[in-house]
């Protein structure tokens, strides 16, 4: 259904999210979501099982935990987008990312399963976003005490992935891949 979705304006998200929205240079966020997952998976598929457990410093997440965080965050942002797109006015709570990691046990999961989950979550979200009409993309809701539009959430998903992939490339895997 969706055709060209314009970039969200700064009034469509809290200033915190600019670090994600601003990373996305394309004006076709659905196409970006599809292209970037291919690039991300190609990069991660050459990471060894051993290197997927690497931490760049004590107390930092492992590569697997970063990927798990990306999956969890994408699910949460997509859930928000779905609720807002369907014109649900219920205010949604925030989430504390650091509390999710210990409960998820990502380091105990097979590396290839995490990569498959990342791919499937993204694929499902692309299909959801493709099915939205123009009015749905502009709808807004409140999450974590901040108003946000559906299109700002889509851009945030894309930018969040770019943010963490840059960290993985520069801090975790620069010497191994």
E-state strands within the chain: 140-143, 146-149
Cα separation, 76 vs 82, in Å, equals 10
Question: Number of folded domains in the chain?
Answer: 1
Residue 149 lies in a domain: yes
Residue 111 lies in a domain: yes
Residue 104 lies in a domain: yes
- Smallest CA-to-CA distance from 41 within 140, 136, 168 is with 168
- Smallest CA-to-CA distance from 29 within 148, 155, 134, 119 is with 155
User: CATH code at 161?
Assistant: 1.20.120.450
β-pair type (146-149, 140-143): antiparallel
Domain span at residue 96 reads 37-172
Residue 71 lies in a domain: yes
Question: pLDDT by residue for the chain (177 residues), tens digit each?
Answer: 655 788 999 999 999 999 999 999 998 999 999 999 999 999 999 999 999 999 999 999 999 999 999 999 999 999 999 999 999 999 999 999 999 999 999 999 999 999 999 999 999 999 999 999 999 999 999 999 999 999 999 999 999 999 999 999 999 987 554
Residue 129 lies in a domain: yes
Residue 7 lies in a domain: no
Residue 27 lies in a domain: no
Residue 4 lies in a domain: no
Residue 140 has a CB neighbour count (10 Å cut-off) of: 18
Query: Which positions ≥6 away from 27 have C-beta within 8 Å?
Result: 4, 5, 6, 7
């Amino acid at each position: 259904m969706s055709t060209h979705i314009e970039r969200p304006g700064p009034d469509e998200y809290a200033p915190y999210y600019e670090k994600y929205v601003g990373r996305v240079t394309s004006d076709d966020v659905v196409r970006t979501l599809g292209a970037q997952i291919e690039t991300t998976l190609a990069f991660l598929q050459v990471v060894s099982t051993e290197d997927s457990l690497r931490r760049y410093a004590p107390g930092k997440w492992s590569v697997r935990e970063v990927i798990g965080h990306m999956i969890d965050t994408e699910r949460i942002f997509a859930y928000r987008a779905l609720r807002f797109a369907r014109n649900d006015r219920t205010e949604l709570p925030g989430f504390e990312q650091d509390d999710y990691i210990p409960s998820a046990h990502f380091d105990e999961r097979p590396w290839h399963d995490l990569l498959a989950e990342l791919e499937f979550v993204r694929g499902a979200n692309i299909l959801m976003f493709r099915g939205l009409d123009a009015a749905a993309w502009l709808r807004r809701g409140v999450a974590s005490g901040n108003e946000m539009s559906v299109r700002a959430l889509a851009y945030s998903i894309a930018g969040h992935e770019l943010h963490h992939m840059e960290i993985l490339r520069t801090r975790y895997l620069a010497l191994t891949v």
